[in-house]
Amino acid sequence: MIKRAVVRGVGHYLPERVVENAEFEASLDTTDEWIRTRTGIERRHFAAEGETTSQLAVKAAQAALADAGLAATDIDAIVVATSTPDFTFPSVATMVQAGLGSTTGFAYDVQAVCAGFVFALANANGLILSGQATRVLVIGAETFSRIMDWTDRGTCVLFGDGAGALVLEAAEGSGTAGDRGILSVDLHSDGRYREILYVDGGVSSNGQAGHLRMQGNAVFKHAVQKLAETAHTALDKAGLDGGAVDWIVPHQANLRIITATAERMNVPMERVVVTVQDHGNTSAASIPLALSVGTARGQIKQGDVVVTEAIGGGLAWGSVVLRW
């Protein structure tokens, strides 16, 4: 018998304001048609003025806890993946802990930009396997609308705000790929590619929050190659192949990247959870949002093999394979 980190609950929260592609036509040299055909994005949610990442995260966490039938005090670690924290410090995670009315356990943030949730999931898995925690709330929460340059049509139409959360719980497994829970993890980063995707502000550089800057084409090429590779490696580590995959739940940045990655993995699009049309790119929130929406749609069911994969600023990328 070995220990496994098994999903016990899932939930999400999206801010109320929905912005359709056509809204950008008034202020930018762009069209709904361009955005749809180049990215698959049709609309996204933006946080209201004063609505913060930790507030979105608390709502997603409450939904996941309700789904798990647990109270906040049943949780002994909270890991939040975000690149858009409310403040430089404290962490969003400790604000979520307080927001949930809990003083048990410990809480901290993980930052790996759009790959953040995969890194947080791997981290939470480590906490559970090493016995440091029994139940971990893993959250991806972002307000990327706060770091957009609204004059840059190449980036500001791509991103959205939101939050998703999972409750992971320690369980006994047999050590085979038939177990429920996290089966394998594959993580990478390469800091040489900083300039193709970064934010031009920060605490110790210019003291500003800054704006997102991206060479979309260059990121696109890395994404297609690296995502299929990491997903393959993670499946290998789990002792599974593409045929065993029930669902790919990819980072939702661009439908063309999602499609190309699925093709390279020999997995048909019917087995890919796609939410990018409704959420845009919500960075670290995109995978838990897709897991939650995919479950609510009746796509992901208990026992399904789910492959998550993501890439983002750093570059940082990786994949986690789990049986739901």
Taking the least distance from each CB to ligand ACO, the nearer of 52 and 254 is: 254
Per the annotation, the verdict on 281 as an active-site residue is yes
The pair of structure tokens assigned to 267 is 């997995």
Stretch that binds ligand ACO, among 185-193, 218-226, 240-248, 268-276 (CB under 6 A): 218-226
Per the annotation, the verdict on 125 as an active-site residue is no
Report, in angstroms and rounded to the nearest whole number, the Rg of the chain calculated over CA atoms: 18
The tally of CA atoms less than 13 A away on the side-chain side of residue 307 is 33
Per the annotation, the verdict on 21 as an active-site residue is no
283 near ligand ACO, rule: CB under 6 A? yes
38 near ligand ACO, rule: CB under 6 A? yes
**Tokens 């390469």, residue?**
190
* CA geometry: angle 273, 239, 131, nearest 5 deg: 85
Q: Choose, by CB under 6 A, the member of 157, 255, 287, 320 that binds ligand ACO.
A: 157
Q: Choose, by CB under 6 A, the member of 81, 133, 219, 234 that binds ligand ACO.
A: 219
213 near ligand ACO, rule: CB under 6 A? no
According to DSSP, residue 166 is labeled E
> CA-CA distance, 41 to 275, in Å (whole number)?
9
Q: Under a CB-based contact definition with an 8 Å cutoff, are residues 185 and 168 in contact? A: no
Q: Under a CB-based contact definition with an 8 Å cutoff, are residues 212 and 236 in contact? A: no
CB of residue 253 vs ligand ACO: minimum separation in angstroms?
3
CB of residue 301 vs ligand ACO: minimum separation in angstroms?
29
- First-residue to last-residue Cα distance in the chain: 19
H helices present in 265-311, as ranges:
276-279, 286-296
Q: Choose, by CB under 6 A, the member of 102, 230, 252, 254 that binds ligand ACO.
A: 254
Task: Enumerate residues 229-248 that contact ligand ACO by CB under 6 A.
Answer: none
Active site (catalytic) residues: 114, 251, 281
Task: List interacting residues with ligand ACO (CB under 6 A).
Answer: 30, 34-35, 38-39, 113-114, 153-154, 157, 197, 216-217, 219-220, 223, 253-254, 257, 281, 283, 312-313
